[in-house]
Amino acid sequence: MPKEILVIAGSFLFVGLVFFGIGANTLCSFIGFIYPAYQTILAIEHKHKGDDVQWSVYWVLYAFFSLIETFQSFILYWIPFYFAFKLAFLLWAMLPQTRGAKFLYDSFLKDFLKKSSDPVSRIDTAMAEAKKSADTTASELVDNVADLVTKKDE
């Protein structure tokens, strides 16, 4: 009987934390990381490469949530039950019964990436242009600082 009580109490505590937002971000991050990290390591070590797509897409989804939460946390605070929905989505994406991440890849991402004209080269081109722009800006900044120092010394 004590085991059932512990499970029931733990379930109520879990639901309370997620739905009422007390530590929900930490709890979602913890649940969304531990099992998938373990499964990713197993997939890497396993000869059969069928799970690689599942876990690669999952980590992209997880990173997407993390990125949004980093920059938009003040907005997410006002969305009711955001962390409950996030947790449900991550569980759907990670669990082997649903394999949601693989479903998203097969249903949407694969076709989108095939329709794009070589998306990797577009990304590489954008990165090269950003690097060139950053180099130009940095050299202009160094020149301007050098001019200011020269003028100050005169």
d(CA 115, CA 9): 50
pLDDT at 37: 92
Digitized pLDDT (tens) for each residue of the chain, 154 residues in all: 578 888 888 888 777 777 776 777 788 888 899 999 999 998 888 877 777 888 888 998 898 888 888 888 777 778 887 888 888 899 999 998 998 988 888 888 777 767 766 656 677 777 888 889 988 998 888 888 888 878 777 6
Phi-psi region of 144 (alpha: psi -120 to 50; beta: other; left: phi over 0): alpha
Side-chain half-sphere CA neighbours of 152 within 13 A: 6
d(CA 29, CA 86): 10
